[in-house]
Chain A
Amino acid sequence: MSTPDATGPLPVTVIGGFLGAGKTTLVNRLLARGGRRYAVLVNDFGAINVDAKLVQSRDGSKIQLENGCICCSMADGLSLALADVLDASRRPEAILIEASGVADPWKIAEVALVERSLRLELVVALVDAANFARQVEDPLLGDTLVRQLSRADLILLNKMDQAGRSSADRARALILAEAPDARIAETVAAELPADVLFGPTPSPERREYGVTASPRPGEHLPQHDHAENTSQGPAGHDHRHEDAFRRWTFVSPTAFSRAGFEAALGGLPSSLLRLKGWCRFEGDEAGWLLQWVAGRWTLDRDDSGPVGTALVGVGTAALPASGELDALLAAAAPRTPGP
């Protein structure tokens, strides 16, 4: 993954979902994983699984870890906590916000869309697959639970090891009834592949064009993230979560029409979560880096890629076959005369 430079906007990931859905498990995974100096904003330190040996210092509202991560309390409000992080002498590399069990994570995420020193990376909402259908029946709570899922980039039907098929399907149906375009993936213990969390890593070296080089759905990718998998022994670790995501690779030597390409981006299916890589445009010598997440995207000048277009995507199990996806982008390529 690329490290943001010291002055660039900080990527923000927001994790939402009701109590018991697995938010803290996911936060702990990211903290334990290391590799990125996170500032983690939480409502309650209590559940954060900080290895005491890692703690460098702690006061009422902050815990500084030896690996450079820092945990901050949002008890005095998100604004104050965020301002503290942004004004700190040593800025983190990324911000992770664990929303409260009743907050709408999207409302929080919006700050990263509007504040210039922040960049929204991902909004993940977790659902307790076994109990969701019952929880939404609660008149005090149901609307809140639905609201916090409705605009998330990715919804994890979590705790699948504890949920029967029927309760998981019921939960999925309830979510889709409210948010038909929701990206839903089934997980156990909030275990997610690295490319889902941090974006796929297209290789600039790849130069064989012309063929769709998509891995088969379910194929293992090298960045598959095992580092944090401590809860189960190697024997007990199945790869169910891999089935929850599909990949797509698009490689083409042609330059696109920029307008056509941008239009094609708008037409990508909602099951696609991320798309990243380089592309070229007609009448433009420069290379461009595309970073597309859940419909939000940026194109930045970047000449470190190949001469053509090389994009890698990841989506939920509902991601259409690669050929179908290829066709969506190929439509944006100018018709080149056949050989």
Chain B
Amino acid sequence: MSAPIKVYRARKIITMSRNRPTATHVALRDGRVLGVGEPEELARWGELEIDERFADKVLMPGFVEGHAHAMEGAVWRDLYVGYFVRRSPDGEMEGGLKSLDAVVERLRRYAETLPEDKPVVAWGFDPLYFDGRRMDRHDLDKVSTTRPVLVLHASFHILNVNSRVIEMAGMGPSTNVEGVMKDPAGEPNGELQEMAAMFAATRAAKVDFDLRTLDGPSLYRYAGSATIAGVTTATDLHNKLDDEMVDLFAEVTAKEDFPLRLVPALGALSWSPDDGIAQAKAIRERSTDKLRLGLVKVMTDGSIQGFTGRLKWPGYHNGAPNGIWNIAPSELKRTIGLYHDAGLHMHIHTNGDQASEFVIDCLEEALTTRPRRDHRHTLQHCQMADAAQFRRMAALGVCANLFANHVFYWGDQHYALTMGPDRARRMDATATALACGVPLAIHSDAPVTPLAPLFTAWCAVNRRTSSGRLLGPEERLTPEQALFAITLGAAYTLKLDHLVGSIEVGKFADFAVLDDDPLAVAPDMLKDVGVWGTVLGGIPFESPARAAS
């Protein structure tokens, strides 16, 4: 006679499975779901040991974040100074700094905690909400005039520095580069834009802003952020994935206390197509239960809010020139074709509608000449696709993972500047995608926005901008649709829907443990549903936010 069967009893279990949509008991064996149902039914498997710790909780399938980056774990090495409150992987509330003075004050306090010889480095700064007031070097000189102070914007494309950094970098009135902003007297004012100016400043200050550098601790921090948000499966949706990096992922994910299934995607543009295809196939063989390899990420254009997304007519609302390609369209088509032919599974970044249309063209050609069933190629972000593009995607079996968080964070900007009112309404057109029959997921792109699927679902259900504007009510999802998108919907785009995304026999025992029933709360309270933590493969992981308090 084997050991008794572990059963979690919960106030409610939302399974996301047609077979038994809700239940109160789930039985586990070997880290998998043995059965969902009444205790009498489950007892037919053998002796039960009922664990009551979640008796007042609501269990859902562990959330699946289909587009985030492990860099989320790396950015928290430095101080977060954003306008919106954000929870650190340790569970602390950070940011929420509503004025420049508050940012400076927070930096000053942080500087005191650092050794004197350390530069003061922060990220997540977003002056969008400060009535046009920009930060300059004099603001940061209040933090220190003797050591470097560097504040990276939320966009990751702008850096503010203090006078000390300007001096170390040797920038002056004669520095004539677009990215070095000047004050009316012609002196650099401390705002540095884009690669050239940021490179010079970070080099002079000896600050490693290469946030892509992942190590064990940053992967654990990433997993901490995931646990806080109820996420049990998360992507690292762009990584070179050379052998050294795969070794790191393999070593860390194998640890029993590592509370996350990781799905890294190989960045196709980091390799020649031949080498990338060979590498993706080779590492696919190294997949384990907690490390799923083989997915491929392809970049195309930039971002809408950075005016670098590739748009169709009529282009940017404020008249900004069209965005940039990361790779020539002809090369993109060739790359997509080769990875498709190799039988690999692609997630393709497209922000502007010219990019999404071109990728749909490429996939249509590949799929017409070399048909493949159930390829599940997915357009990531796909923010500006219109109904016609979604209809074509549906016809081709292409999935969409839409960037619902954009509606809240940049919706007002899209309304006023980038897209104008009409097109802003249908950005991240979640309801249109579903109506057209496109398999749908929604995402945070953490660390670009916070990793928090319930918040992402709230965005898709409410479509409120940060100023409170209702942006595109026709594109709102029902709570049920949104919860599907952050569980089974995302799992489907990753070809993991047979393993995660619902609570069903045979699947991993991965749960999000919630304080309330997200289907019972008012839809505008979805983001406020408390998360106790997760269960991964049957093992409970309490949120660091709870453990701390």
Contacts and interface: CB of A to CB of B under 8 A. Distances in A.
Interface string A44-57: 11100000000000
A114 B270 contact: no
Contacts of B354: 139-140
A305 B482 CA distance: 75
A107 B200 contact: no
Given A110-B196, A114-B196, A102 B326 contact: yes
B85 to A, nearest CB: 31
A113 B196 contact: yes
A101 B328 contact: yes
Interface string B310-333: 100000000001101111111100
B358 interface: yes
B170 A116 contact: yes
Interface string B161-184: 000000001110001111110000
Contacts of B170: 116
B382 interface: no
A113 B175 contact: yes
Nearest to A82: B199
Contacts of A110: 177-179, 194, 196-197
Given A76-B270, A140-B329, A111 B169 contact: no
B367 interface: no
Interface in A226-247: none
Contacts of A139: 354
A144 B200 contact: no
Q: How large is the interface on A (under 10, 10 to 19, 20 to 34, 35 or more residues)?
A: 20 to 34
B180 to A, nearest CB: 6
Given A101-B331, A102-B326, A140-B358, A111 B180 contact: no
Contacts of B258: none
Interface in A1-27: 18-19
Interface in B326-366: 326-331, 354, 358
Contacts of B2: none
B180 A44 contact: no
A101 B326 CA distance: 9
Contacts, number: 82
Interface in B404-459: none
Given A102-B328, A111-B200, A116 B178 contact: no
Contact of A79 (B169, B195, B321): B195
A251 B176 CA distance: 31
A76 B200 contact: no
Interface string A116-152: 1000000000000000000000111101100100000
B199 A115 contact: yes
A82 B204 CA distance: 14
Contacts of A75: 240, 269-271
Given A101-B331, A111-B196, A140-B329, A83 B203 contact: yes
B256 interface: no
Contacts of A18: 328
B289 interface: no
A16 B80 CA distance: 38
Given A102-B325, A107-B194, A143-B321, A116 B210 contact: no
A48 to B, nearest CB: 12
B38 interface: no
Contacts of B178: 110
A111 B203 CA distance: 12
Interface string A20-41: 0000000000000000000000
A115 B192 CA distance: 13
Contacts of B269: 75
Nearest to B329: A140
B474 interface: no
A60 B242 contact: yes
Interface string A63-102: 0000000000001101110110010000000000000111
A323 B271 CA distance: 54
Nearest to A151: B178
A107 B330 CA distance: 22
A114 B272 contact: no
Contact of A115 (B200, B210, B271, B328): B200
A255 B354 CA distance: 59
A138 B270 CA distance: 27
B241 to A, nearest CB: 12
A97 to B, nearest CB: 12
13 contacts: A19-B330, A60-B242, A79-B199, A80-B210, A100-B327, A110-B194, A111-B200, A113-B175, A114-B199, A115-B199, A116-B170, A116-B204, A143-B322
Given A75-B269, A140-B310, A140-B329, 10 more contacts: A18-B328, A44-B272, A76-B270, A78-B195, A107-B196, A111-B199, A113-B196, A114-B177, A114-B197, A139-B354
**10 tightest Cβ-Cβ pairs between the two chains A and B:** A110-B196, A111-B196, A115-B200, A114-B200, A101-B328, A102-B325, A75-B270, A114-B177, A110-B177, A140-B329
